[in-house]
Structure 1
């Protein structure tokens, strides 16, 4: 931001801390300041999301120190981010091997022409081994990521899919090791 921005006599940073600040035309000195105000708001929200992704148990005060807001202002932003769906849930990143699920498998699945996609999606969402399911382009219908305790778990999963008459054909790839695995993509600020 070029220089220090003033909105109604207060620095932009102070305005971001005001809970009930209204972006009416009287409060904005120019469209340039509005664009910069929105850009800073977006940067702060992204930073809050990144900090929560690193450690969802981090205190509001700790987050506030990093982004330059009070704990109550951080709490309001988090509530708003949850309300608009930017934050879907707060979760734990557990080690699958420690939980007895060391086998990571990727499956490419082509659905039968008469298989109902809604029924397939419901079956996949209900199956505890499925971590991810993506509708993909190309000659395959879906790509799945599953975790199992052993090879028999993979075979049982495939048997469940075949029993539901969803699969026309499939290809299974077992991960030998994992070089990188993230549950969240860090955003550039």
Structure 2
């Protein structure tokens, strides 16, 4: 990983739909060289994929919950991530120490929407069960570094 790779990664993090010309400009490369470098980053697994970043406020998703996930068959973190990627209401997922295998942060439009999302999480292999807490009010939210 060199400064050029870092510039490419910053560019696609800010806009996953950036053109090769835009990526090249951000990394001071030609479009064709930017494409080759980006392809290499994808090929090595440094970049695992590209995604749409949803704005929960624009979607009016203001109902929040933290969900502990308990799994069967001891899945790897990668297996669990792949299983949960299809639930758009999961805005963050972390493996954790303790009894639970993972903790999810879910956002939804309403309690009904949240319940449906939790049901989809529960129906996902290898999830065995969940325990949820609904956020009543947010006391502190600091920006990520």
Compute the TM-score of the two structures, normalised by the length of structure 2.
0.67
Which residue does 1:176 correspond to in 2?
137
Give the CA RMSD over aligned residues.
3.6
- Paired residues of 1:106 and 1:175 also in contact (CA < 8 A): no
Alignment of 1:37-76 (within 5 A): 42-76=2-36
Which residue does 1:84 correspond to in 2?
44
Distance verdict in 2 for CA 1:94–1:181, change over 3 Å: farther
Distance verdict in 2 for CA 1:149–1:82, change over 3 Å: same
> Deviations for 1:110-159, whole angstroms, at most 9, x for unmatched residues?
55xxx4455xx587555453344332112433201222221233345556
- Paired residues of 2:65 and 2:132 also in contact (CA < 8 A): no
- The answer to whether structure 1 residue 108 and structure 2 residue 68 are counterparts is yes
Shift, 1:50, TM fit: 0.5
Distance verdict in 2 for CA 1:172–1:73, change over 3 Å: same
- Larger gyration radius, structure 1 or structure 2: 1
Listed as ranges, the gaps of 5+ residues in structure 1 are: 1-40
* Larger RCO (CA under 8 A, 6+ residues apart): 2
Distance verdict in 2 for CA 1:73–1:159, change over 3 Å: closer
Shift, 1:107, TM fit: 1.6
Listed as ranges, the gaps of 5+ residues in structure 2 are: none
Distance in 2 between the 1:179 and 1:146 partners?
16
| Residue correspondences, number | 137
